[in-house]
């Protein structure tokens, strides 16, 4: 199937500007990864010019090869860098961030799936930056409650884990992932740490129907999720799943209004919305 032509509302300006160059230099010098670059986020110019970034820990090689994601999954992950938490904390301090998002590749090769490294990064960032708000975009930790509990505790304030798509498409789109497992991860966090806000995200354009999207939104709310992001899937390469549709902005607005009617505290919904888009505004 040939790619669909991108509509006008999906055009973004190329990343330029002094702030973008400054942050790129800082992240490179600290030997850190950002999901902004590694996953080819279309908002990298906007967010970096605003002085915000989503840091990706545990390297930039994933043990799962999801059909939507541009992160490298063809190489063997490297051992954990035990100095990464301190370098991350220093970068947050230098960038003067008020809200930091920490995400990671999936590390199914590690006994605890990287839970302890998440904890160490959160602690280091908070110790050096006591006023910063911390959000993570977490993998599923293979659904292991013991490891989820390690991560989901203060000073963490927002636990984000994306279901990505509707149940019918999940087995095809998410390598090693599970729609039901993801819902249970989010529910576990809310039940064991009710003070932590839970968040998840869905993409449009993978072949879903709008009634399936609404059903997934209901599932998320029934499992205690409070913050929702809905964005347009963009195909990173010919290996990845084709774009089946470019949803009109009105479709995103309809889904946002539906979610708010169910009691979500905050919803970001639009063609260029990604998991960490406007994260600090929540």
Lowest mean pLDDT among 42-51, 163-172, 211-220: 42-51
- Are 45 and 23 in contact by the 8 Å Cβ rule? The answer is no
Adjacent-strand bridge partners of 56: 33, 103
Give me the half-sphere count of Cα atoms (radius 13 Å) on the Cβ side of residue 64: 22
Collapsed DSSP state (helix, strand, coil) of residue 45: helix
Residue 83 has pLDDT above 60, yes or no: yes
Collapsed DSSP state (helix, strand, coil) of residue 29: helix
CA distance 163 to 203: 9
Q: pLDDT, tens digit, for every residue of 5-43?
A: 777 766 665 555 666 666 666 667 767 666 555 445 555
CA distance 166 to 207: 9
Closest CA to 41 of 233, 198, 245, 227: 233
Q: Domains of the chain by range and CATH?
A: 14-281 (3.20.20.70)
> What is the mean pLDDT of the segment spanning 238-257?
90
Taken in order 273, 275, 279, 282, the sign of the CA dihedral is positive
Collapsed DSSP state (helix, strand, coil) of residue 12: coil
- Are 163 and 170 in contact by the 8 Å Cβ rule? The answer is yes
> 178 or 25: whose pLDDT is higher?
178
Three-state secondary structure readout of 155-186? CCCEEECCCECCCCCHHHHCCCCCHHHHHHHH
- Are 115 and 150 in contact by the 8 Å Cβ rule? The answer is yes
């Amino acid at each position: 199937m040939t790619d669909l032509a991108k509509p006008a509302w999906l055009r973004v300006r190329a990343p330029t500007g002094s702030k973008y160059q400054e942050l790129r230099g800082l992240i490179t010098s600290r030997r850190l990864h950002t999901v902004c670059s590694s996953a080819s986020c279309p908002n990298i110019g906007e967010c970096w010019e605003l002085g915000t970034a989503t840091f990706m820990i545990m390297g930039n090689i994933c043990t799962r090869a999801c059909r939507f994601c541009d992160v490298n999954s063809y190489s063997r992950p490297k051992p954990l860098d035990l100095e990464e938490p301190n370098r991350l904390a220093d970068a947050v301090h230098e960038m003067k961030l008020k809200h930091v998002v920490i995400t990671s590749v999936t590390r199914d090769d590690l006994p605890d799936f990287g839970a302890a490294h998440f904890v160490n990064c959160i602690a280091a960032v908070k110790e050096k930056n006591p006023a910063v708000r911390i959000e993570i975009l977490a993998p599923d930790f293979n659904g292991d409650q013991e490891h989820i509990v390690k991560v989901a505790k203060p000073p963490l304030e927002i636990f984000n884990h994306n279901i990505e798509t509707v149940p019918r498409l999940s087995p095809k789109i998410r390598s090693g992932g599970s729609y039901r497992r993801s819902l249970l991860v989010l529910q576990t966090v809310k039940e064991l740490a009710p003070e932590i806000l839970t968040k998840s995200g869905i993409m449009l354009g993978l072949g879903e129907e709008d009634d399936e999207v609404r059903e997934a939104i209901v599932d998320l709310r029934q499992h205690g999720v409070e913050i929702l992001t809905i964005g347009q899937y963009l195909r990173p390469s010919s290996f990845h799943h084709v774009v089946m549709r470019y949803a009109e902005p009105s479709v995103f607005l309809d889904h946002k209004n539906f979610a708010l009617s169910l009691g979500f505290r905050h919803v970001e919904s639009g063609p260029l919305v990604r998991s960490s888009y406007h994260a600090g505004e929540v």
